[in-house]
C-alpha cells in the first residue's frame, strides 16, 4: 500500500484503537496485535492490518478494522480507518465510536 503521494507504507505489529461508549460516557484504549480481536461491551473489535509512514510513524496510521455486534448483524463494520480523518470511514453504531490512534511498531 502507498499513500497518495506514492510514499511506501510499513506494517505495524498492532494498533492502538480508541473506543467511546456513549451511554457510559467512557473511552477505552485497546492495544491489539495484528489478526486479533477483543470483546468490549456489546461489540467485538478486530484488527487485521495497521500501516504507517516509515519516515514519520507518528504522523498517521491506516488500520483495517472489523467491528461486530451480535445483536445487530446489519450494523457490522469492516473497512480501513485513517487516524487523521476518523470521519472519512466511521463506524455507524448507536452506542459505540471506534477510531484508530496509531500503529504499534516492531
Question: For 36-62, what is each residue's pLDDT tens digit?
Answer: 999 998 899 999 999 998 888 877 899
**For the residues of 1-62, what is the DSSP string, one character each?**
-B-TT--B-EEPSEEEEEEEETTTTEEEEEEEETTEEEEETTEEEEEEEEEE-TT-TTT--E
Q: Taking the model in full, what pTM does it have?
A: 0.86
What integer pLDDT is reported at residue 5 of this predicted model? 61
Q: What is the mean pLDDT of residues 63-91?
A: 87
What integer pLDDT is reported at residue 4 of this predicted model? 55
Amino acid at each position: 500500500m502507498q499513500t497518495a503521494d506514492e510514499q511506501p507504507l510499513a506494517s505495524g505489529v498492532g494498533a492502538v484503537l480508541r473506543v467511546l461508549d456513549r451511554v457510559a460516557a467512557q473511552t477505552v484504549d485497546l492495544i491489539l496485535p495484528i489478526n486479533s480481536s477483543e470483546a468490549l461491551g456489546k461489540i467485538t473489535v478486530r484488527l487485521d492490518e495497521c500501516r504507517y509512514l516509515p519516515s514519520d510513524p507518528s504522523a498517521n496510521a491506516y488500520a483495517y478494522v472489523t467491528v461486530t455486534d451480535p445483536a445487530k448483524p446489519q450494523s457490522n463494520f469492516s473497512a480501513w480507518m485513517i487516524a487523521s480523518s476518523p470521519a472519512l470511514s466511521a463506524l455507524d453504531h448507536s452506542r459505540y465510536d471506534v477510531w484508530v490512534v496509531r500503529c504499534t511498531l516492531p
